[in-house]
Structure 1
Amino acid sequence: MSFKIAIIGAGSVGFTKKLFTDILCVPEFQDIEFALTDLSDHNLQMIKAILDRIVEANRLPTRVTATTDRRKALEGARYVISCVRVGGLEAYADDIRIPLKYGIDQCVGDTICAGGILYGQRNIPVILDFCKDIREFAEPGAKFLNYANPMAMNTWAAIEYGKVDTVGLCHGVQHGAEQIAEVLGAKSHSDLDYICSGINHQTWFIDLRLNGRRICKDELVAAFEAHPVYSQQEKLRIDVLKRFGVYSTESNGHLSEYLPWYRKRPDEITRWIDMSDWIHGETGGYLRYSTETRNWFETEFPQFLEAASKPIDPAKRSNEHASHILEALETNRVYRGHFNVKNNGVITNLPQDAIIESPGFVDRFGINMTSGITLPEACAATCTSSINVQRMSVHAAISGDIDLLKLAVLHDPLVGAVSTPEEVWQMVDEMVVAQARWLPQYADAIPAAKERLSKSKVRTREWAGAARRDVRSIEELRAEKAALKQAV
């Protein structure tokens, strides 16, 4: 087989390498072209060097090109994969820093909550540019695989306004299933069967079976509470499991910021999180991790390049969906996964226009979703609250309506639990002004926002958050890595 895959945001070096090696694990896919594109030529050249080394080491006919000209990369592409973060770490830092001034303490801030909503405002105009270019330059009927957050908002915009065949992909379901298999003592992950459904980052394991035996709530609660690690790292998720009756896919830190109950007061935050790793609830945890990872890759590039000389091992193919979807579409080897698509009746008690994440099967005929799923009422209520925020956020990003943007932020569950309307109005003004260079749709609203900020009397405070850690230096990371290696 010979076809072209374009990867937008390919400067996300580690993730691009994973997608690349996964796809090359499919025997039929060796004679294909990968077209890498990114705003940073520096990052492009680094990832291209790594991928070229993989191709050379494995003696493959695979072709790798890299260009900052997105349209050139898209020419004739059958598949387009997006891994972009518009505004980079600079804008992301504002997504965390500014809401903290108003008492909103986020762990990640990339899906909803104040940070996720502004992230969507930056991404959606760019996503629509991608879609326009895909329609004009890619192969007719090209499929757009979106990995970028905020997943639901980006996918919603691409489908409803971009008019491109789009699926959103995430790995939260796989990671949650791995945890469940471990606590239940499964010999293999394949021993666990499940139906997981909801919306991205709020997906629920509504049916669990271990070797065909149905797992009830009480058994799952007992298994998590008995686990020496997860009982401490996932305290909030376990509490939600006890109250809702089903386990959520998303990490302790992520889940905490989608709900109005656990991060509303600093003392509550420290009660429910765990500081052993960023993902369990640390203030700005993913921002710290992303900063360290960028610094680490820049410094340790020779080691990454050396590692690329190893043969590709199909046994180590990851559970990221992309390679498996492409394999099913091209070879008709059926793949079952969980995909972000427009609802259209798949989940009976969520809005029809929402982007849901639910099981489906892929073959030559495309992605075929399993329809007629009904969520438990509490899960549906929680998802619907987020969907309403997502819908307003998408429409605000399309229209440049700053009042609608403020209403979207006001209706966010955690923001509403912490902030008053006056605080929300000022916070959004401050975030839009700070990120103006990435928000072209709000250009006409910026002067008035600046004027309001100059006269505002809403009090704010400067603080690091309830549970903040400093960004570690390269030397500290090296020492930590060495210590872990010695312990093993």
Structure 2
Amino acid sequence: MSKRAVTIAYIGGGSLNWAFRLMADLAHDTTLAAHVRLYDIDHAAAERNARIGARFAEVSKGQPATYQAVPDIAQALAGADVVVVSILPGQFDDMAQDVDIPARFGILQSVGDTVGPGGFFRALRSIPMIAQIARDIRDHAPEAWVCNLTNPMSVLTGAMYSAFPEIKLWGECHEVTKLRHQVAWIANNEAGGPQVSHRDVIVNVLGINHFTFVDAIGLKGRDMLPAYQEFVNQHGNSGWSSREPDPEDDHDTYFMDRSRVKFDLYRRIGIPAAAGDRHLAEFMPQGDYLDTHADWGFALTPVAYRMRDRDSKRERAAALAAGQGTPQAERSDEALVDQIKGLLGLGHFVSNVNLPNRGQIDGLPHGTIVETNALFSSLGVTPLVAGRLPDALQTITADHAARQTALTQAVMTASWGDLFDLFRSDPLVVPLSDACAKDLFVEMVQATAHHLPEELQREAA
């Protein structure tokens, strides 16, 4: 049986995370014949990943993918069928400032990459970078399908559409998978053993990235909402996780949660929350969850841990590239390979993605980046009508979505004078006095000034 050839350009191809998941998924797949070009501003990291990709190819279940590190983005994009964008905007030192400076002003952030002061300044650094990537795609691969994996997802997906309106782009996030895993666990627990996986669970997704909800859950023809409601009633106060966290494992300490925020929002709003607690909490006023995060069963992830984890991943990647260890052709939870296969006409596939609103969510302006399901097929990426959020949730979501859209527009049009008022209007910043909010804004501009235009620095001063 012949395999379907596909050329993938991976921008940020020195990735220590998402690139390896793609390699494992391609090694597991038996239908594609993929050639992956890895481009990164750190070319040595891309070369390392090309060596690791060759090792994954050795254990492939189908035709082995090939990997090539290329020195410039134009070479990576030329003739690409699919472009994957997975970059780190700035350095972890910048992210540390995004979290640590607001903390001195009394603002706690559990992640700091989507909303709040941290998400805002990460966006300021990222939008010019991602917009240039979109222009490069316009110039070198205008017909390619483009998947953005980079946060802040809503803002950056919007920036890419602003820079290249005809781009064939979707934003990809795996947060909704957490809810689907829970539903599969409920069904398997009832059955007394593993009968289904999260891939069997279907949900109707509504919201914006990292603040996602579902109003319908199905599993093999069964309406799972009643069972999920009973699950929440049973575990809402104590919380739940599929396994107990390892107290010696920092990743468990800083990334696992007990879904108590998710459950509480369901009780308050009336439809299940889908994203993880650490993200959901940042969209709400600080007094709701962040101030008492330990009581709600989640942690504030310190950037110092992310740095230690990066160093550990570099060591493991160097060992793998050097021939140590054995890569595994195991399917990850990521949807990208299935999405690519759908676009190539190898079946249909539905998953939650971030796209401009074309009517899939009622009540949010057209063009706003929203997260709903979409159908991947040879016809392209077709958003599916999701409906309308409950009124209380609609108000919260519309506020964040409007700010994200306005932030994108302000940076893309160099309207630097608009930025402080947008920053000031975030729910985590609102409780500050005007003077404190201005001081926070100025200090954060100064801390990341090397990534920001001089005009913005003058405006902030």
Q: Match of 1:352?
A: 366
Partner of residue 235, structure 2: 224
The within-5 A match list for 1:263-342 is: 266=291, 268-272=292-296, 274=297, 280=298, 282-283=299-300, 285=301, 287-301=303-317, 303-305=319-321, 306=323, 309-310=326-327, 312=329, 316-342=330-356
One-letter identity of the residue aligned with 1:392: A
In structure 1, the residue matched to 2:115 is: 112
> Which residue is equivalent to 2:454?
443
After TM superposition, give the deviation of residue 3 of structure 1 in Å: 3.2
Partner Cα separation in structure 2 for residue 295 and residue 237 of structure 1: 32
Unaligned runs of 5+ in 1: 275-279, 453-488
The count of residues paired between Structure 1 and Structure 2 equals 433
Kept in 1: contact 2:27–2:59 (CA 8 A): no
Taking the TM superposition and a 5 Å limit, the aligned residue runs for 1:23-172 are 23-30=26-33, 32-58=34-60, 60=63, 62-138=65-141, 140-163=142-165, 164-172=167-175
How far is the alpha carbon of 1:224 from its aligned partner? 3.0
> Deviations for 1:441-471, whole angstroms, at most 9, x for unmatched residues?
x31232454xx4xxxxxxxxxxxxxxxxxxx
Given candidates 181, 186, 201, the residue that maps to 2:210 is: 201
Post-superposition Cα deviations, 1:25-76, rounded to whole Å, max 9, x if no partner, equal 333322x321101111232232122112222444955331113412221122
50-59 vs 384-393, which moves further: 50-59
Residue of structure 1 equivalent to 2:378: 364
Describe the shift of the 1:372–1:309 C-alpha distance in structure 2 as closer, same or farther (beyond 3 A).
closer
- Identity, % of aligned pairs? 25
Tell me, yes or no, if the aligned pair for 1:34 and 1:63 is still in contact at 8 Å.
yes
Residues of 2 paired with 1:76 and 1:210: CA distance?
40
Q: Which amino acid aligns with 1:325?
A: Q
Contact in 1 for aligned 2:183/2:224 (Cα 8 Å)? no
TM-score, normalization: structure 2? Answer: 0.87
Aligned residues of 2:14 and 2:46 also touching (Cα < 8 A): yes
Q: Tell me if the contact between 1:263 and 1:269 (Cα under 8 Å) persists in the aligned partners.
A: no
Distance 1:92 1:14, change over 3 A: same
Partner of 2:247: none
- How far 1:294 sits from its partner (Å)? 0.8
Residue deviations 1:336-374 (CA, integer Å, cap 9, x gap): 111110111111122222111111211100111212512
Residues 96 and 303, structure 2, Cα contact 8 Å, conserved in 1 = yes
Counterpart check, 1:188 vs 2:196? yes
Q: Which residue of 2 aligns with 1:484?
A: none
1:93 & 1:221 partners in 2: Cα distance? 35
The structure-2 alpha-carbon separation of the partners of 1:44 and 1:308, relative to structure 1 and needing over 3 Å to count, comes to farther
| d(CA) in 2 for partners of 1:400, 1:429 | 17
1:423 to 430, 433, 436: 436
Aligned residue for 1:17? 20
Q: Tell me, what secondary structure is at the counterpart of 1:413?
A: coil
- 2 CA distance for matches of 1:378 and 1:362? 31
Q: Deviations over 1:102-126 (max 9, x none)?
A: 2111010111111111111111111
Change over 3 Å in CA distance of 1:34–1:255 after alignment to 2: same
User: Match of 1:195, as an amino acid?
Assistant: N
Checking the alignment, whether the CA contact within 8 Å between 1:26 and 1:327 is kept in structure 2 is no
Higher helix share: 1
Judge conservation of contact 1:183–1:223 (CA < 8 Å) in 2. no
Q: Is the 8 A contact 2:16 2:314 kept in 1?
A: no
Say if 1:9 and 1:286 are closer, same or farther in 2 by CA, change over 3 A.
farther
> Partners of 2:390 and 2:441 in 1: how far apart?
34
**2:396 aligns with one of 358, 361, 382:** 382
Deviations 1:353-400 (A, max 9, x none): 211111121110011121251222222222111102201211222133
Residue 17 of structure 1: SS of its match in structure 2?
helix
Kindly tell me: are residues 109 and 153 of structure 1, through their superposed partners in 2, closer, same or farther at Cα, counting changes over 3 Å?
Answer: same
1:246 to 250, 253, 271: 271
Match of 2:281 among 256, 260, 283: 256
Q: Structure 2: how far apart are the matches of 1:79 and 1:354?
A: 24
> Residue 459 of structure 1 aligns with which residue?
none
Distance 1:226 1:415, change over 3 A: closer
Partner of 1:458: none
Q: Which AA in structure 2 matches 1:378?
A: A
Query: Residues 57, 242 of structure 1: CA spacing in aligned structure 2 closer, same or farther, 3 A cutoff?
Result: closer
- 8 Å contact from structure 2 (residues 150, 156) kept in 1: yes
- Residues 302/38 of structure 1: CA separation in 2 closer, same or farther (3 Å cut): closer
After superposition, the C-alpha distances for 1:6-42 in whole angstroms (9 at most, x for unaligned) are: 1111222231011123134333322x32110111123
Cα 1:365–1:408 shift into 2, 3 Å: same
Q: Which deviates more from structure 2 when the two are superposed, residues 212-221 or residues 7-16?
A: 212-221
2:223 counterpart of 1:213: yes
Q: Which stretch has the larger CA shift, 299-308 or 79-88?
A: 299-308
Q: Distance in 2 between matches of 1:226 and 1:386?
A: 28
Cα deviation for residue 286 of structure 1 reads 5.7
Q: SS at the partner of 1:114?
A: helix
CA distance in 2, matches of 1:75, 1:308: 34
- Show the counterpart of 1:485: none
